[in-house]
Amino acid sequence: MKILVTGAAGFVGSHLTEKCVELGYQVKAFTHYNSKNNWGWLENSPHKKNIEVITGDIRDYDSVFAAMQGVDTVFHLAALIGIPYSYVSPLAYIKTNVEGTYNVLQSAKILETKNVLVTSTSETYGSAQYVPMDEKHPMVGQSPYSASKIGADNLAVSYFRSFGTPVKIVRPFNIYGPRQSARAIIPSIIIQILNGQKKIKLGNVDPTRDLTFVKDTVSGFLTIAQHDEFNGEYINIGMKHEISVRDLVLLIAKLMKTEIEIVSDEQRIRPTQSEVERLFCENGKLVKATQWKPDYNLEKGLNETIQFLTEHKSIYKSDVYNV
């Protein structure tokens, strides 16, 4: 099978790209062009020689179309994902997340690509109106980021309904693990502790999240790709387990054998009506239709993440908050 992964140099994309190589697929990695020719997390990958790296811009239809030629399956992960920056530049999220997804879908339509997976997010649901949250839960754009992803998701479904494009919308709940951005909650906590800080700066600690380890998420992507009955459908990937940010902080501190104090940092707090208070995944659609099941519970995943960040803490800046 010939695979293209967009956003392949990023957190989840790099894990997915490497797993596809390990499974024996021919893999193209679409990464964001830069003058240094840096391939992000693939730069030092042990599988580098078996990956065809293509640099371009997901906002550029011509480069997307060229990259998609000759592939059987596209995993579309390229996106702007930081929620805080979406308050700064909503248009950037429209251009990247909506137009970028259009470029993939339109190319797939013309090239008759056999299998397209578009990456969604649990943020499209907004705060839980009922739990656990299945794929029928209403979509509510509580941030420009989530609104852009709702737009991309609906566009993907429209291509399935209008043109028969074989597209599946993968909706992961909160992913964590090695290589995640420092602005995400788990790396932020761990890096502050690793650097000896006892007062941990955080935003709102009351919301709950459903946390899935990155390797289990990648396994979910690959499983969904194999099931044509998911064409035109949304499919959640999650643990069906929630934990508050406060309890998460305390659990990480316990695993790292340290005592900490949580300090509120105003710049990390979302606008009141934009905060997603509760995310709690119903994963039954995926579990009942496939053989997917997670290999990592929260403690196992956190321990592997702590180990990675301990070994790579020099590349993270705990004293700088970057939206």
Across residues 82-100, what is the average pLDDT? 96
Domain 176-209+241-280+296-315, second-level architecture? Alpha-Beta Complex (3.90)
Cα–Cα distance between 10 and 42 in angstroms, integer? 8
3-state secondary structure at position 319: coil
Q: Are 182 and 188 contacting, i.e. CB atoms less than 8 angstroms apart?
A: yes
- State the average pLDDT for the chain: 95
pLDDT of 144-159, one tens digit each? 999 999 999 999 999 9
Q: How wide is the angle at C-alpha 96 spanned by C-alphas 90 and 100, nearest 5°?
A: 145
- CA 103 to the chain's CA centroid: 19
Task: Calculate the alpha carbon distances from 296 to 93, 211, 219, 301 in Å.
Answer: 32, 10, 11, 6
| Range with the poorest average pLDDT among 20-24, 80-84, 100-104, 126-130 | 80-84
Q: What architecture is domain 2-175+214-237?
A: 3-Layer(aba) Sandwich (3.40)
Supply 183's token pair.
């602005």
Domain ranges within the chain, ordered by starting residue: 2-175+214-237, 176-209+241-280+296-315
Give the contacts of 36 (CB within 8 A, at least 6 positions apart). Answer: none
Of 137, 105, 268, nearest in space to 210 by CA: 137
Q: Could you give the 3-state DSSP secondary structure of residue 120?
A: coil
How many Cα atoms occupy the beta-carbon half-sphere of 22 within 13 Å? 11
Residue of 117, 15, 119, 7 lying closest to 59 (CA atoms): 7
Write the pLDDT tens digit of every residue in 248-294. Answer: 999 999 999 999 998 877 766 778 788 999 999 999 999 999 999 99
Q: What is the mean pLDDT of residues 45-67?
A: 97
∠ Cα 307 313 316 (to 5°): 130
Tell me if residue 198 falls in helix, strand or coil.
coil
251 by DSSP, 3-state: which? helix
Question: Residue 203: its pLDDT value, please?
Answer: 79
Compute the average pLDDT of residues 9-37.
97
Q: What is the DSSP letter of 26?
A: E
Can you read off the two tokens belonging to residue 292? 């997917």
Q: Which two tokens mark 82?
A: 């930081």
